[in-house]
Amino acid sequence: MTDREDALRELGEILKERREQAGLTLDDVYDRTRIRLEYLTGIEAGDYTNFPEIVYIKGFVRTYLKLINAEDMQDEFMARLDQNNNPRKHEREAENVNIFKNSAAPASLTEGFKPASHFWIFSALIAALIGTGIYVWYAFTYGGLKFDELFSFNKPAAKVETQPEKIHEPDQEKLPPVAVVKSKDEKPAPPVEPKKPEIKPVLELRAVNDVWLRVTINGNNIFGGTIKRGENRTFNLTAPARVLIGRPSALQVIHNGKDLGVVNPRAKKSETYIYNPDGTHQLAQ
């Protein structure tokens, strides 16, 4: 087994874990993407033996990743799929792209997807025809509708004479006078500023690669262990969080909704950071 096959198999296992964390089965993924079950199984197993051209494989993988919000794995997947790939396939991909610019895509472009059924559209049309027939029958039978009235398009409509409605105006002499008082010092009310939505302090940790962590809040060890590449951990910051990171270059931090990026891309040893509820953070001394 080559390095490429090993890497694709590991990526498939991580993808399967992410799908299960999202609470989806392979049948659920098929229903939402229309990608055949044998291709979905092959992606999770890292086995692309019976797949079509590489351009279709990439399309299946992108669709699958987008469905389970695992698009952070896309670059790694694309790089591994291109590794040691037959260059002749890339030439065919380029030819297909040039052809599609001036003509419709061939039927093989939809290989791997199953078309949606038109049963419900046909059923709706039948139901509409039946409903119209019942309405016309009821109108002729019980509503007094006649054929000559139904098809008499040239007969002028009967004129209905209406008299303008009399508007009762109150006696102005009986109305009490209205006093209008204006104040020179009167100032307009200040504008009411809309309340800003309250942002709850949250710390989200994403593993770019496998990384060991220990998170302590209020003196309590909230988490300790290794999170795999692509996994997330979220913590509510009821107090400052002290985070010991085994590989700072392998961890991405999102603090109160703000993406801080990778902690320290150049770090070669473990570091400890403190993340405060107000959105500030610092390297622990």
Report pLDDT digits (tens) over 51-103: 989 999 999 999 999 999 999 999 999 999 988 664 444 444 444 434 333 33
Residue 189 belongs to a domain: no
* Percent of all residues in the chain with a pLDDT value above 70, rounded to a whole number: 67
Which range marks the domain in which residue 218 is found?
A: 202-283
pLDDT for 43: 95
- Residue 3 pLDDT level (bands cut at 50, 70, 90): confident
Give the per-residue pLDDT at 160.
53
Specify whether 55 is located in the same domain as 12.
yes
Residue 162 in any domain: the answer is no
Cα–Cα distance between 273 and 285 in angstroms, integer?
Answer: 9
On whether residue 187 sits in a domain, the answer given is no
Are both 206 and 265 inside the same structural domain? yes
| pTM of the full structure | 0.34
The answer to whether residue 78 is domain-embedded is yes
Does residue 24 form part of some domain? yes
Domain-embedded: residue 177: no
Mean pLDDT of the chain: 78
9 and 97 fall within a common domain: yes
Same domain (yes/no): 15, 105? yes
Indicate if 206 and 252 belong to the same structural domain. Answer: yes
- Report in angstroms the alpha-carbon separations of 224 from 211, 216, 260, 278, 283: 11, 9, 22, 24, 19
Distance, CA of 110 to CA of 104 (rounded, Å)? 12
Q: CB neighbours of 79 closer than 8 A, spacing ≥ 6? A: none
Bigger pLDDT: 106 vs 158: 158
Query: Which CATH number belongs to the domain containing residue 20 in this structure?
Result: 1.10.260.40
What would the mean pLDDT of 195-212 be, rounded to a whole number?
84
Residue 174 lies in a domain: no
pLDDT exceeds 90 at position 132: no
If asked whether residues 9 and 75 sit together in one domain, one would say yes
User: Does pLDDT of 105 surpass 50?
Assistant: no
If asked whether residues 67 and 137 sit together in one domain, one would say no
Tell which of 48, 81, 110 closes a domain: 110
Tokens linked to 58? 């990439």
Domain assignment present for residue 168? The answer is no
The total of structural domains in the chain comes to 3
Tell me the per-residue pLDDT of 136-183, one tens digit each, with 9 for 90 and over: 666 667 665 555 555 444 555 555 566 656 565 555 555 555 555 555
